[in-house]
Amino acid sequence: MTHPTSDQLQQAFTQLSERARPRDDCPEPDQLWRARTGQLSPRATRRIVKHTVECGVCAESWRLAAELEAGRERPMGRVIPFPVPLWTVAAAVLLLGILVPIFGPHLWRPVTSIDRGEDLERIESELAAQEGLSRADFHLRWNLEPAQKNLIRYELHVTTEDLFHVLVHETDLVEPEFKVPENLLGSLPEGAAVTWRVTAVFEDGSRTSRVFVTRVQ
Amino acid sequence: MLETSSSHQAPPADWHRDDREPAVRQADDLAWEAGAPASSDLESLRRELEKAVTRICPTWLSAQSDDLVQMSLMRVVEQIRNCDEHRSFNASYLRRTAYCALVDEIRRVRSRREWSTTDESGGDHPLEGHGPDPEQRLIARQIGSHIRACLTGLITPRRVAVALKLQGESAPEAARLLGWSLRKTENLIYRGLADLRKCLSQKGLSKERGAL
């Protein structure tokens, strides 16, 4: 009997995360980060790893931490010198020229099913894409799709592009719109990007957010 | 009645200087002195997050990956702004804070998402996924469930070592994190994988059956 390879097992294990939900006993994200970066005791780390066996969301978060750490460690744009004889390049190109017309159609199969999570409620901007707004009429408008009866309010957080200067912070908006006072935009130059985050708050205390960027005309 | 709070504040007149040369560098320096990260740090953090999310997030979440990254960055900035202490934030701190915000966001989105099919554990959902063939998706999900069941049956040290292996960690990395010697860790991985394969075979999962 042929046994599965480690890669096959790894792939199947990873797929478990795709439809996972968080559990009540999930460790704090900070604990996951500290475990993956070696800042926790081995004992505490082992406890967290045991949890990731049973929790697909935390398993995914572990891999996310590993990716971020790997990104930090990987030097960007590093070129490794590797002398390649010219004839090998020519041979590879020739081989590709022969194989691609024969096997090409079988090599690239279109992905037939992509789930983009359309069933989740989503906040959409009512402003046209790339539409800028004049500072005299910086009227932000949005919509919740599909409409939710249990929506109780919106929160709006408007900042400059660097996210550091808060222009507006409203926490009890009933209507899906807000006009930013002109005096708050006075110092922004033409074309400056304004970042605005809308959060819809529901009766059960849950929330959903979306971030948009609009330029000052 | 809900508590209402609102605040409006005009930004400093010179926040927007975009001539990247000395002005921005000076602004970044000043920001650092004031305890804020430089814009270049935030931008670099954004790129790192985007890359990590793109590589890790499943297809259904990738449609929202931009939002996730942006929201986690906003939370980083909010947290820094709310910090009373006068302190500087190095790249490592920013990365950790952004990671925590991102994981919170992913958990929030995942817990709100409604599924057409649920399994008994209330955890994973074996009938949905992405890929070209629904039957293959179903099989892959079932294999994953069997792997998890088999892992749960392993003795704890082997389970932990194999779990890290399946997460893509190398043996030296696993040894470092778990506080074991490399030799011991490799041994646990080897024996653990053997147990896992044996368990899967007993469940009828092998290459011959076409499942793996």
- Predicted pLDDT at B82: 72
- Residue pairs spanning A and B at CB distance below 8 A: 288
CB neighbour list of residue A99: distance below 8 Å, 6 or more residues apart: none
- Predicted pLDDT at A42: 93
> Which residues of chain B have a CB within 8 Å of the CB of A152?
2
A165 touches chain B (CB under 8 A): yes
pLDDT tens for each residue of B30-86: 454 455 556 666 777 778 777 777 776 666 666 677 777 887 788 777 777 776 554
> Which residues of chain A have a CB within 8 Å of the CB of B201?
1, 3
- Predicted pLDDT at A79: 37
CB neighbour list of residue B67: distance below 8 Å, 6 or more residues apart: A209, A210, A211
Nearest CA in chain B to A194: B16
- Predicted pLDDT at A165: 75
What region, left, alpha or beta, does residue B168 occupy, with left being phi > 0 and alpha being psi -120 to 50 degrees? left
Structure tokens that stand for B190 in this block:
């080897």
> What does each of the 217 residues of chain A score in pLDDT, given as a tens digit?
566 777 888 888 888 887 788 999 999 999 999 999 999 999 999 999 999 999 999 999 999 899 888 765 544 333 334 445 566 667 777 776 776 566 555 444 433 333 334 456 778 888 876 678 888 889 999 988 877 778 889 999 888 876 667 788 888 898 899 999 888 888 888 888 888 888 888 887 777 788 888 888 8
Query: How many Cβ atoms sit within 10 Å of the Cβ of residue B168?
Result: 16
User: Using CB atoms, which residue from A3, A30, A68 is nearest to B206?
Assistant: A3
Cβ pair A62:B167 closer than 8 A: yes
Residue B94's nearest CA partner among B117, B61, B121, B72 is B72
Chain B neighbours among A 25-84 (CB < 8 Å)? Answer: 26, 28-30, 32-33, 35-38, 41-43, 45-46, 49-50, 52-57, 59-68, 71-72
Q: Assess contact for A170 and A178: CB atoms under 8 A.
A: yes
Taken in order of first residue, the domains within chain A and their CATH numbers are: 7-73 (no CATH), 122-215 (2.60.40.10)
For the domain made up of B134-202, give the CATH fold.
Arc Repressor Mutant, subunit A (1.10.10)
Domains in chain B: boundaries? 22-112, 134-202
Flag residues of chain B having pLDDT under 70: 1-41, 56-63, 83-90, 113-138, 206-212
- Predicted pLDDT at A45: 95
Residue B185's nearest CA partner among B205, B152, B157 is B157
B209 touches chain A (CB under 8 A): no
